[in-house]
Chains A and B, each alone.
Chain A
Amino acid sequence: MTDAAELKARNAIARALKCAPGAVGPDASVETLPQWDSIGHVNIILEVEGDLGRPLLPEEIAGISAFADIVLIYQRHQASAGPKGGSV
């Protein structure tokens, strides 16, 4: 689950900032990525919301300043969605 969340977070950031996914390392943040400016930040939030299919909660928006924060959002989303195809 962690790998999938990291992949999604990396791709979302890369799409939003128009950079290669490889440029988004585990320590990527508003401090380390020069492309991550205020407009980039808006785009990242829109990308994540597009992936999740819902608007982010205010607390989630307030919590984003690094790759790890976005991974956490995807992880929580996956956990709340639960496993697919489970039997009763």
Chain B
Amino acid sequence: MTKPNPMLQRLETERFILKPLGRIEAYRVGRANWNHDPEIMRNLVHSSRPLGRLKWLKKMVWVNGKSKFSHAIVPKDGGPAIGIHGVTLQKHRSAVLVVAVHDRQWWGRKVVAEVRRAIIDHAFERQVVDRFCCTVQARNTASVFNYKKLGFKHVGTLHQAQYDPDSGELFDTLIFELLRADWDKQRENRS
């Protein structure tokens, strides 16, 4: 019998339970909260236009149990999920991260740093990956902040690489990377 993927485990942080999601739950939580939030949609898919059901299933449900894993971010105090964190495994022991916090009451309260730190710790400790690589819109400065805060290094810029169908503008994308060795150094410094 094969062991379940470590990314299917439930995790805990100081303030949150990170509950692994199945496809149906990920669809429900994501679509109900993000599809009509232009700001979230723009940051996730570069367009504020709502997506139809099939397109949502294809693009926005980051769950397949093999290479895509999502965790609902649930406050320990109770209440519904305030967002979802997704991990997509890629070739050569790399992974891409994505997160959306739809409950605006939690914005500016360091949710992403806390959640992502736990996910990254877990993925490195359980030998899931050796590297994380993420791309982000250059103007999504809150997201840029979160990558920098976690020690991701800016390793490149894709100029005018993405297109916003709403505004008709091309925009720049930043590439950030975090290697296991750099994370280990950070952890030593923290302790």
Segment 133-149 of B: residues with Cβ below 8 Å from A: 138-139, 141-146, 148-149
Q: What chain A residues lie within 8 Å of B108 (beta carbons)?
A: 37-40
Which residues of the partner chain B approach A58 to less than 8 Å between Cβ atoms?
138, 157, 159, 172-174
**B20 → chain A closest CB, angstroms:** 25
The 7 lowest CB-CB distance pairs between A and B, nearest first, are A58-B138, A41-B145, A62-B154, A39-B108, A38-B142, A58-B172, A38-B145
- B157/A62 in contact, CB under 8 A: yes
Chain B residues with CB under 8 Å of A3's CB are none
Main secondary structure of the interface of B (DSSP, over half): mixed
Dominant SS among interface residues on chain A: helix
> Contact between B149 and A30 (Cβ–Cβ < 8 Å)?
yes
Interface string of A37-49 (1 = CB under 8 A from B): 1111110010000
Tell yes or no: B107 within 8 A of A by CB.
yes
A61 touches B138 (CB 8 A): yes
A62 to B158, CA, bound (A): 12
Docked-complex contact B157 and A59, CB < 8 angstroms: yes
Closest to A69 in B: B148
Task: Report the Cα distance A26→B90, complex, angstroms.
Answer: 40
Contact surface of A with B, Cβ cutoff 8 Å: 30, 37-42, 45, 58-59, 61-65
Most buried by B among A30, A39, A62, A63: A62
Beyond A37-B108, A37-B110, A39-B108, is A62–B138 a contact (Cβ under 8 Å)?
yes
A38-B108, A38-B146, A61-B141 known; 16 new pairs, CB 8 Å cut-off, are A37-B108, A37-B109, A37-B110, A38-B112, A41-B142, A42-B141, A42-B142, A42-B145, A58-B138, A58-B172, A58-B173, A59-B154, A59-B157, A62-B148, A62-B157, A63-B154
In Å, the complex CA distance between A61 and B148 comes to 11
CB distance from A59 to the nearest CB of B (A): 6
Contact B149 A62 (CB under 8 A): no
5 contacts between A and B (CB under 8 A): A38-B112, A38-B146, A39-B107, A41-B145, A42-B141
Q: Whole-angstrom distance from the CB of B43 to the nearest CB of chain A?
A: 12
- In Å, the complex CA distance between A30 and B150 comes to 10
Q: Which residue of B lies closest to A55 (CB)?
A: B139
- Closest residue of chain A to B149, judged by CB? A30
B154 close to A39 (CB less than 8 A) = no
| Residues in chain B near residue A62, CB distance under 8 A | 138, 144, 148, 154, 157, 174, 176
Which residues of A are found within 8 Å of B107, using beta-carbon distances?
Answer: 38-39
